[in-house]
Amino acid sequence: MAGLRPKSGPTMNDVAAAAGVSQATVSLVLNSASGSRFSEDTRRRVRDAVDRLGYRTNAHAKVLREGVAGMIGFVGDFVASSPFAGRIIEAAQDRAWESGLLLLTVNTGGDRALEAASLETMLSYKVAGVVYASMYHQILDVPEVLGDVPSVVLNSEDRGGRFSSVAPDEEKGGYTATRRLIDAGHTRIALINNDSLESGLPAAVGRFAGYSKAMLEHGLEVAPDFVRFGHGAEPDGFEHATSLLTAAYRPTAIFCGTDRMAWGAYQAAATLGFSIPADLSIVGFDNQETLAPHLRPALTTLELPFEAMGRRAVDLVLQGAEPGGRVELMECPLIERNSVTHPKEMP
């Protein structure tokens, strides 16, 4: 009927009446105001009334009162839809909740218009800060508007050098992977990298640098014939591993820049009649939960520290995320499984 308004729900006055206290008491109890002293019985009566009536605090009123909402914004490209990078969101959400904040998450799918609209909405809600995330480690053009609130770039780096970033330590990861194969006794170690060095992709540049450092440190040659460049996918691993394993002078171990390329290398080895790890040791990178543990044998790999990075990004937002472009690199742990052993004697 014309003139009817939708029911607005219980008010703070309703809670006060049900609990037999003043509205001021309800407000102080719900906001845990410092210096306010009420008996446990009074607090219990207020909480019971809130639960019974289904009362919710007014977020807009909180913004007007405190100047900031109880939320942190999280904007990502394909992070929420990724089968493994989504762990970043869970960790960030848990860390925000520990500080009494909610995580307001938007997965943009790489749509710049949606990203801009999402950021404007978050800023209009006076979020406490924003985590700006990417599915993979890259150099990003970060929106200028993020300078209006404490903001941190997650799993990537700011091209402009204005915002702090939290990202994987790719070079140390490449070093650890290669060192694992060297420690097993391998000297013929190939690399199938996840992109070209010309791409400037931090993951590709860093993992190659780590591989090279470990090889040279132990007096081993970084042979051009043993270094291949793919694009991170399974067919790249299959193609390059096939080429490496059919050469007259073949490697006894391969460090693959992604688990998916390692999967391709497994298939190449099987096709050519090589046994893993007896004839060929393989180390991957990513620790994709849907892949690495389920290969036969299970894949030894480096884990991207999604949980640690998600928590750290929220920590930095809560600390005010001072500008300056500092990049905080987080260690990628080695996950030992069954794809590495000592090499056979070879001619």
- Total Cβ atoms within 10 A of residue 257: 34
* pLDDT cut 70: percent of the chain above it: 89
Fold of 66-168+306-330: Rossmann fold (3.40.50)
Q: How far apart are CA 306 and CA 87, in angstroms?
A: 6
Q: Residue count of the chain, please give it.
A: 347
Is residue 187 pLDDT above 70, yes or no? yes
Q: What is the pLDDT of residues 271-296, one digit of tens each?
A: 999 999 999 999 999 999 999 999 99
Question: Is 170-304 the same fold as 66-168+306-330?
Answer: yes
- The confidence score (pLDDT) of residue 322 equals 78
More confident residue, 100 or 164: 164
Query: Nearest to residue 83, comparing CAs of 255, 261, 260, 230?
Result: 260
pLDDT in tens, 301-334: 999 999 999 999 999 999 988 777 789 999 999 9
Contact of 165 with 202, CB cutoff 8 Å:
no
3-state secondary structure 129-189: CEEEECCCCCEECCCHHHHHCCEEEECCEECCCCCEEEEECHHHHHHHHHHHHHHCCCCCE
Q: What is the torsional sign of CA 71, 77, 83, 87? A: negative
How would you classify the pairing of strands 253-256 and 189-193? parallel
What per-residue confidence (pLDDT) applies to 56? Answer: 63
Q: How far, in Å, CA of 228 to CA of 197, rounded?
A: 11
Q: Which residue has the tokens 């090279």?
A: 212
Residue 57, number of CB atoms within 10 A of its CB: 13
CATH among 3.40.50.2300, 3.30.1360.70, 3.20.20.70, 3.40.190.10 for 170-304: 3.40.50.2300
Confidence of residue 4 (pLDDT cuts 50, 70, 90): very low
Cα dihedral sign, 223-226-229-231: negative
Sequence ranges of the domains in the chain: 12-55, 66-168+306-330, 170-304
Helix axes 87-98, 306-318, angle to 10 degrees: 40
Instruction: Check pLDDT > 60 for residue 168.
Output: yes
pTM above 0.75, yes or no: yes
pLDDT tens for 208-256 read 999 999 999 999 999 999 999 999 999 999 999 999 999 999 999 999 9
Greater confidence (99 vs 343) lies with: 343
Q: How confident is the model at residue 3 (pLDDT cuts 50, 70, 90)?
A: very low
HSE-CB of 7 using CA atoms within 13 angstroms: 3
Residue 151 vs residues 62, 190, 316: alpha-carbon distances, Å: 21, 40, 8
Rounded to an integer, what distance in angstroms lies between the CA atom of residue 267 and that of residue 190? Answer: 17
Mean pLDDT, rounded, for 144-167: 93
Which residue, 268, 295, 293, is CA-closest to 190? 268
